[in-house]
Chain A
Amino acid sequence: MSATAIGIDRVSKVFGGKVALDEVSLTLAAGTFTVLLGPSGSGKTTLLRCLAGIERPTSGSIRLNDVVVASERGVVGPEKRNLSMVFQDYALWPHLTVERNVGYPLAGSSMSKAARTDRVAMLLSQVGIAHLKDRYPNELSGGEQQRVALARALAAEVGLVLFDEPLSNLDADRREQLRIAIATLTRESGATAVYITHDQAEAFALADNVGVLSQGRLVQFGPPETIYRQPANAFVTRFTGVSGELPVRAWSVRSSDRAQVTLGIDGSPELDATMGGGLTPGCAASVLVRPAGVTLVAPTDEGSLVGVVRDTAFTGRGYEHVVALQGGVELSKVFATNRSERGAAVGVRCEPSALFLMPTDEGLPS
């Protein structure tokens, strides 16, 4: 088995006049783990289904290992693309046992029956459900069903494994366990992986590269660190996690990528923020604040924003607070190792690296 390199060139898909994908272009190296991140309706599922061969692009082309599998001239069927897929609803066949579900992709292979049985047993063991091999899907829990789906996807040692929001139906504990199983087993298999989700934490935890989609367009593509630290626009910033948005009274360019910002909150200090794309001199803007860069301090702390605690939540390693600043602006997920009670006056310190100055008139979904 060799991993599949993927070339997506200006792929569009229109459903009855509604544009689901709008000229998406993307190149994925063989053996990498790519996560397509976006809200509902962003086109990520459609793109995945076009890769799988379940949907036919309206225009554009898709290459797998330099072989064109979809273009205006025709499409190659899913069974000839050397891929597998984990479905959101698992898509386990209810009339087949766990063992036969997992062994299904091997049925047409040249492996002997004994080798197939061994391979299925090994996979079931790897995903931790070897003892359930004779059960039927409706006799399994959601997590167990998803493990069967994962084992089935890895069974045939294909070059490309697709994941369609596989963890969205699971509870937090099982999500974490299965996320680790997906990350390790898929990488061990050596296959290229394309995974779609609307959960940025899941995306950053799994991906070598993240592609952010919005309204059928690819907005940004790159390593998780780049997406988080240098978001292309306000949409990407918001979708990958913000504590809140601070109003800006005035701003000026400080260096090539940084700006000096005066907030529209009386008595607040001047802030240093990263400049986002699309800013023009004098345009209306706001500061988007990453949660990782805000901490709770004493209200007297120099350079902090002053506010009142509205809510507090214990997270295990400490406390996350919701702080109402003057003027009614709220910041959430403000971390502190100690609890501050509701109504307490506090200060919020913002790291410059967590502040992004973005134009306010982008009109992109929040």
Chain B
Amino acid sequence: MFDSLVVSTTSAVLAVAMATLMAWLVHRTNLWGRRFWSGAMWVLMLVPTWMTTLGWIDVLQPGELATALGYHSLFLYHHFFGPDGIIFVLTTAAMPFSYFIISVGMRGLGSEFEDAARVHGASRLRAVRTVLPIIAPALLSAFAISFAESMSDFGVAFTLGSGAHFPIATYVLFNAIYSFPANFPVAAVIAGVLILSTVPPVYLQSRVMRGRSYAVLSGRTRGVRRHEFSTPARLAVTAAVATVMFLILGLPLTGAITSSFTNTASFLTPTGVHWTLESYRQIFNAPPAFTALGGPLLTSNELGVLVASGTVILALVLAKRLASRTAGAAQGVMDSFLLGSVAIPGIVLGIGYIFFYDQRFITQHVVDLYETLPLLVMGLIASATPGQARLLTGPVAQIQSSLAEAARVHGATRWRAWRTTSLPLMSRAILWAWLLTFTKTISELAIAQILYQPGHEPVSVTVETYLGTIFATIGSAATVLTLVEMLGVIVVVLTLFRFVTPRGWRRIGEAVVPS
């Protein structure tokens, strides 16, 4: 448990620090390839931790990509199977969460606050230090959610923790449930401690935010102004960002992709590397006892749409409540409950659903949902809502209450006031929350594996059945195709947003040319 706390705290601090720097570089400077880096963060977010880990193994394991490129990676490979590797993967997994939460805050933060600090004698660095607390809700939300996500992560615990003899809480929990005989008391204690571990970050957040308003988005908000790097500095910063992004995303992806284009036990064979499309052919003509990709991919997309839509609606309601400064003790309780819910590993949630909905009394007298799609949808929504509610709290807290009040006094009903004033201002955040939930639903494994409807397995379950077998490269191919499909959906949705929404919706937070 202590190992989990140390690893999660370190990962969350590193993730928030890196994400803040990245968000500032992308949104507030003239860094080259800003759209590309933002897109790369999306891809990083899509990749589940188990896949990142397997990608790194595909790179570092003797005989794999690093060996093929002439590097002796044994030292790094051993290091990777330990706390360093776990912290590295968890940090890279939590970083995009933090990045998107902080980005929303930075987009809504006009340049007048920075200007005010500068004209009152602050250096550029001090001005940044002065302004950062204004996006404190975003920073603290980012830390809290990164910490909770790290605490509850199962993929990295499963793939790295076990092999490294560095078991962290979720892996011990998994073992307690899936060993024979199952040790439910130990599992319950671990789940309880996991939830309690989220109390400190929530307490910290509530102390910092007590009685303070962070509403900065109003009709008077000026557009953001970018810091202009000189050409050599711009080049150096862009190169540094490119290097970091390659290390945390490019390399493991390369490992997975190259693995999908081979059909041999290891990447490098005594007769060299054998490139083939066989794995991609086989994923649509599955070997006996395995499932082809088409059906599961469709099921996962349906699940993604249902879960993302339901989650965003619920999360918005909760975020509004969380952002309210008058909610008092009830807000603290709900905040703790929501963050606690983020820390419940999917595997615990899934098993809890089975225990409840498989009871004879429930199935016979209340509702028979066991092994149905609605139960899986409910489980996934329950799992995704707390995190999304916290993600949306920052943007909701930034909108001045007078904007909706102005709509009401000018004749708008409560619904019209929300639809025409708050919704447009939050549209980007809502869009991102929807896409994030959609993609996370498709890659989610723990709940899907426990609650899926027989005959309608989601794609993550299909992929998992291939990995660890002699058909692992088919699993890699399925993973790559799923990622490509998810990216395609993101591109389509973002394009639709661009062409369907009024220009004013897209202007919020757009940078202006310095005058």
Enumerate chain A interface residues (CB-CB to B < 8 A): 52-54, 77-79, 81, 83-85, 87, 89-97, 100-101, 104-105, 107-108, 136-138, 142, 145, 152-153, 155-156, 162
Please name 29 pairs of A and B residues whose Cβ atoms are closer than 8 Å in the assembled complex, sorted by A. Answer: A52-B405, A53-B408, A54-B408, A77-B408, A78-B409, A79-B409, A79-B410, A81-B409, A83-B409, A84-B410, A87-B402, A87-B406, A91-B219, A92-B220, A93-B425, A94-B217, A95-B425, A95-B502, A96-B504, A100-B504, A104-B410, A105-B411, A108-B412, A108-B416, A136-B507, A138-B223, A152-B406, A152-B410, A162-B409
Q: Mark B288-330, 1 if CB is under 8 A from A, else 0.
A: 0000000000000000000000000000000000000000000
Verify if B243 is at the interface (C-beta below 8 Å from A).
Answer: no
Report yes or no: A91 in contact with B507, Cβ–Cβ below 8 A: no
Report yes or no: B223 in contact with A104, Cβ–Cβ below 8 A: no
Report yes or no: A104 in contact with B220, Cβ–Cβ below 8 A: no
Report yes or no: A94 in contact with B425, Cβ–Cβ below 8 A: yes
Report yes or no: B402 in contact with A52, Cβ–Cβ below 8 A: no
Which of A97, A104, A137, A153 has a CB less than 8 Å from the CB of B407?
A104
Which of A79, A94, A107, A142 has a CB less than 8 Å from the CB of B507?
A94
Q: A53-B408, A93-B420, A94-B219 are in contact. List 11 more A-B contacts (CB 8 A).
A: A77-B408, A77-B413, A79-B411, A85-B406, A89-B218, A90-B220, A93-B424, A104-B407, A105-B410, A145-B220, A153-B410
Q: Closest approach, in angstroms, between the C-beta of A166 and any C-beta of chain B?
A: 12
Given contacts A77-B413, A85-B409, A89-B402, contact A95 B218 (CB under 8 A): no
Which of B220, B222, B403, B405 has a CB less than 8 Å from the CB of A78?
B405
- Residues of chain A within 8 A (CB-CB) of B405 are 52, 54, 78, 85, 87, 91
Kindly state the separation between the CA atoms of A169 and B321 in the bound complex, as whole angstroms. 31
Verify if B414 is at the interface (C-beta below 8 Å from A).
Answer: yes
Kindly state the separation between the CA atoms of A108 and B110 in the bound complex, as whole angstroms. 32
Name the CB-closest residue of A to B505: A95
Report yes or no: A138 in contact with B222, Cβ–Cβ below 8 A: yes
Q: Closest approach, in angstroms, between the C-beta of B266 and any C-beta of chain A?
A: 55
Name the CB-closest residue of A to B223: A138
- Residues of chain A within 8 A (CB-CB) of B504 are 93-97, 100, 136
- Residues of chain B within 8 A (CB-CB) of A108 are 411-412, 416
Kindly state the separation between the CA atoms of A142 and B110 in the bound complex, as whole angstroms. 15
Report yes or no: B400 in contact with A89, Cβ–Cβ below 8 A: yes
- Residues of chain A within 8 A (CB-CB) of B140 are none
Kindly state the separation between the CA atoms of A42 and B400 in the bound complex, as whole angstroms. 23
- Residues of chain A within 8 A (CB-CB) of B413 are 77, 79
- Residues of chain A within 8 A (CB-CB) of B465 are none
Verify if B138 is at the interface (C-beta below 8 Å from A).
Answer: no
Report yes or no: B409 in contact with A52, Cβ–Cβ below 8 A: yes
Q: Closest approach, in angstroms, between the C-beta of A25 and any C-beta of chain B?
A: 23
Report yes or no: B406 in contact with A138, Cβ–Cβ below 8 A: no
- Residues of chain B within 8 A (CB-CB) of A77 are 408, 413-414
Report yes or no: A84 in contact with B409, Cβ–Cβ below 8 A: yes
Q: Closest approach, in angstroms, between the C-beta of A104 and any C-beta of chain B?
A: 6
Name the CB-closest residue of A to B110: A138
- Residues of chain B within 8 A (CB-CB) of A53 are 408-409
Q: Closest approach, in angstroms, between the C-beta of B403 and any C-beta of chain A?
A: 5
Verify if B421 is at the interface (C-beta below 8 Å from A).
Answer: yes
- Residues of chain A within 8 A (CB-CB) of B409 are 52-54, 78-79, 81, 83-85, 162
Q: Closest approach, in angstroms, between the C-beta of B332 and any C-beta of chain A?
A: 16
Closest 8 CB pairs of A and B: A92-B219, A95-B504, A91-B406, A91-B402, A137-B219, A105-B410, A78-B408, A95-B424
Name the CB-closest residue of A to B506: A95
Kindly state the separation between the CA atoms of A92 and B404 in the bound complex, as whole angstroms. 10
Kindly state the separation between the CA atoms of A101 and B219 in the bound complex, as whole angstroms. 10
Given contacts A89-B402, A91-B405, contact A138 B220 (CB under 8 A): yes
Verify if B221 is at the interface (C-beta below 8 Å from A).
Answer: yes
Q: Closest approach, in angstroms, between the C-beta of A214 and any C-beta of chain B?
A: 25
Kindly state the separation between the CA atoms of A91 and B417 in the bound complex, as whole angstroms. 13
Kindly state the separation between the CA atoms of A92 and B424 in the bound complex, as whole angstroms. 13
Kindly state the separation between the CA atoms of A93 and B502 in the bound complex, as whole angstroms. 13
Which of B412, B421, B502 has a CB less than 8 Å from the CB of A79?
B412
- Residues of chain A within 8 A (CB-CB) of B420 are 93, 104
Kindly state the separation between the CA atoms of A83 and B406 in the bound complex, as whole angstroms. 11
Kindly state the separation between the CA atoms of A104 and B420 in the bound complex, as whole angstroms. 9
Kindly state the separation between the CA atoms of A40 and B281 in the bound complex, as whole angstroms. 74
Verify if B429 is at the interface (C-beta below 8 Å from A).
Answer: no
Q: Closest approach, in angstroms, between the C-beta of A195 and any C-beta of chain B?
A: 15
Q: Which of B410, B421, B507, B508 has the most CB of A within 10 A?
A: B410
Q: Closest approach, in angstroms, between the C-beta of B394 and any C-beta of chain A?
A: 17
- Residues of chain A within 8 A (CB-CB) of B421 are 93
Name the CB-closest residue of A to B217: A94
- Residues of chain B within 8 A (CB-CB) of A79 are 408-413, 417
Report yes or no: A93 in contact with B403, Cβ–Cβ below 8 A: yes
Kindly state the separation between the CA atoms of A137 and B110 in the bound complex, as whole angstroms. 13
B495-515, CB < 8 A from A: 502, 504-505, 507-508
Report yes or no: A91 in contact with B508, Cβ–Cβ below 8 A: no
Q: Mark B415-428, 1 if CB is under 8 A from A, else 0.
A: 01100110011000
